[in-house]
């Protein structure tokens, strides 16, 4: 069975500082990996995704993530955080089978200090 772990429930960073959100997954084959962002009271928006190719993927809003097969990780990074990045972030693992169903982590809430 597939699963996703986001070890950090809540992270606080200062504006302008770098950010790394952790994600570990369990999956039997090569998975699709996603990061989504959710602003308060909104649905989820895709930040980036990985399936194959270059293990460092670029997304929207200046985010990037690196796939490390040996560590079963897909950590999200941003070099300089903006106040507007405050939101909840979800890592997910999915496949093209089974209706494209994804399994989501429990989320990491990011607070940005001025």
* Interface characters, 66-105, with other proteins (x: CB under 8 A): ------------------------x-x-xxxx-xxxx-xx
Q: Which helix (H) or strand (E) holds 14?
A: strand 10-14
**Number of residues in the chain:** 114
Measured from the CB atom, the residue of 45 and 80 that comes closer to other proteins is 45
27 lies in the binding site for other proteins (CB under 8 A): no
Measured from the CB atom, the residue of 20 and 106 that comes closer to other proteins is 106
Minimum separation from the CB atom of position 22 to other proteins (A): 15
Minimum separation from the CB atom of position 26 to other proteins (A): 15
Structure tokens at 8: 């950090």
Enumerate binding residues for other proteins (CB under 8 A): 9, 32, 34, 36, 41-46, 49, 51, 90, 92, 94-97, 99-102, 104-107
């Amino acid at each position: 069975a597939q699963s996703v772990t986001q070890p950090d429930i809540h992270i606080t960073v200062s504006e302008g500082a770098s950010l790394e959100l952790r994600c570990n997954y369990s999956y039997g084959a090569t998975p699709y990996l996603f990061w989504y962002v959710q602003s308060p009271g909104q649905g989820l928006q895709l930040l980036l995704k990985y399936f194959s190719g270059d293990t460092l993927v670029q997304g929207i809003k200046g985010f990037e993530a690196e796939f490390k097969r040996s560590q079963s990780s897909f950590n999200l990074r941003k070099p300089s955080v903006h106040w507007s990045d405050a939101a909840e972030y979800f890592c997910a693992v999915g496949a093209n089978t089974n209706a494209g169903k994804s399994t989501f982590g429990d989320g990491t809430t990011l607070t940005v200090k001025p």
